[in-house]
Structure 1
């Protein structure tokens, strides 16, 4: 009887170890910590799949648990004053240096857009709240975190329109004056899907003839920038890497655009393009736009220019507000200086590298910081128990760049 119990314990231990273990490249620091972190995300993803299959709750509805469990109530402290406002119908959280009596000094400002694949996340999550407070303290800046509506309840372009409306409201001179912000020292920034929105906002502001206040900088943290080719070298190399495997990124893309599951299947096979989008594939031709070191053993193969989803989603996929990498050169030339952070072990690596290349070719001042041992989302993993050394380095370097360039 006792031997049976020991056998069951060993079996359970072996199964647990098998489930927790995932192949992580040796270059990545704190590999076991990443394995355990990834185990949580995979478990939640499997639960979400099961829930959707049984008709209990849709996939993203279950995945929102991450947003809830990391939620905080942003409150003022001895160094930072926090207020929750509504900018032209859009909720924002504003972080300001605590001014005892006010000193009249004009300050920098950063408009920050959270990540989460346009489907998850919130500015009211612990990592974003902490980042905003650090930027306020270290930059003496005003930070505006935008709480945009999420897919799949609100498909593209709603999340972008929320962000754009909120940013435009903030960039009015009388609003900037209320927060003692220097109109010449404002940046837009974001991570992952937030980096996508930040890049799109920067482009659209430059195209707006009525916009009087211009951005000084854009800071894009492992941004997602195109949906045409989902089989670039980084998608191939990192399709099973934490924290963003290819299946999850493709699901984010498809749910951003539509609730039609056929788009997800087409995107997974990279057969979602059309004759209309074929002419834009030159903007994601990584055999030209990526440095040789990123090619690895992969050979360039353009996605099939035929679509199994002939609906309006094709128009959305090629819209530069959704895929900023597809913007023509004329839209890139007037853009403000840029900071682009990319990670080696990230399906989105090549999006950021190609965008940095295209910006440079069009005369934009670009700082491209690539982390050869980095993984997606690392900059936000700076709180216990998911506290990674590389996340702290990324955050320090990012804030240092803002301090020097804003």
Structure 2
């Protein structure tokens, strides 16, 4: 019978080497009768940006070949790409890139992003401040990891910790990530938007202004062609507001969005669904995601 194809860029490391994600992939394949592909992409700092993205695009394009889909009896009308955390960055970017490639436009029928990392311009959003000390994901740790994806120069890390890492010529991009425009009122609380200080960092890192690193930098005209999208956010997550901004922007341009917000959720919960660390909320997220796939793909 025809099958669905689910392409999964993974969570931080290689998905096939993380048992919890192997469980998720196997469970999804069994539940949906789907072909699930986990991508073992290269990791920083040995392989900096955009190595991981290039690996994901290469694999996705390979599997989208008609002869490969036919070999695995995949229905080309039922293809979804999914990722969580940094894998959500890759899934979002791959989908954007393929929609702008005339050879692969409209080949991805849906995307699912689980508590994704989506922008690197302003790292002083309300959720960044509220959950700078976790749980699970710490602001300082995140900044160090992303900085090492761009460069091993520690100057970038130190500037980013002060939110002073963006160049003056990036000013026009902040309209895409200005949380005062896009966040629902309940998440603004008593926070006051202040523009980041630009031009303080002498070194130049072109990746900082690249939408392949920060998918939120894509223009509205690029976003409006994206496929139906599922986004899951967690209340107790420093990356919560990045995803909420993306949801607002996608809805504003007419993309079909399904959004599940987990009030007791924490970042990375889907990776804690087996011993020795077992979170019931992770199972809840998994079930919501698979139910969406079952209904929409």
**Partner of 2:43 in structure 1?**
150
Question: What is the CA distance between 1:372 and its match in structure 2?
Answer: 1.2
**Partner of 1:350 in structure 2?**
241
SS in 2 for 1:297: coil
Residues 1:292 and 2:185 are matched in the alignment? yes
- TM-score with structure 2 length normalisation? 0.98
Bigger Rg, structure 1 or 2:
1
Question: What is the CA distance between 1:123 and its match in structure 2?
Answer: 2.4
Residues 1:274 and 2:170 are matched in the alignment? no
- TM-score with structure 1 length normalisation? 0.72
Displaced runs of 4 or more, over 3 A: none
Partner residue of 2:276 out of 377, 385, 388? 385
Question: What is the CA distance between 1:180 and its match in structure 2?
Answer: 0.4
Partner residue of 2:126 out of 230, 233, 240? 233
1:1-400 matches, cutoff 5 A:
105-116=1-12, 120-211=13-104, 214-311=107-204, 313=205, 315-400=206-291
SS in 2 for 1:204: helix
2:113 touches 2:231 (CA, 8 Å); kept in 1? Answer: yes
Cα RMSD (Å): 1.0
Question: What is the CA distance between 1:115 and its match in structure 2?
Answer: 1.3
Instruction: Note the residue ranges of structure 1 that are not aligned, 5 or more in a row.
Output: 1-104
2:272 touches 2:282 (CA, 8 Å); kept in 1? Answer: yes
Distance 2:68 2:262 in 1: 37
Instruction: Note the residue ranges of structure 2 that are not aligned, 5 or more in a row.
Output: none
Aligned residues: 297
Deviates more, 1:378-387 or 1:215-224: 378-387
Distance 1:211 1:392 in 2: 33
Deviates more, 1:146-155 or 1:301-310: 301-310
After superposition, the C-alpha distances for 1:157-216 in whole angstroms (9 at most, x for unaligned) are: 111001011101110111100110000100000010000000000000010022266111
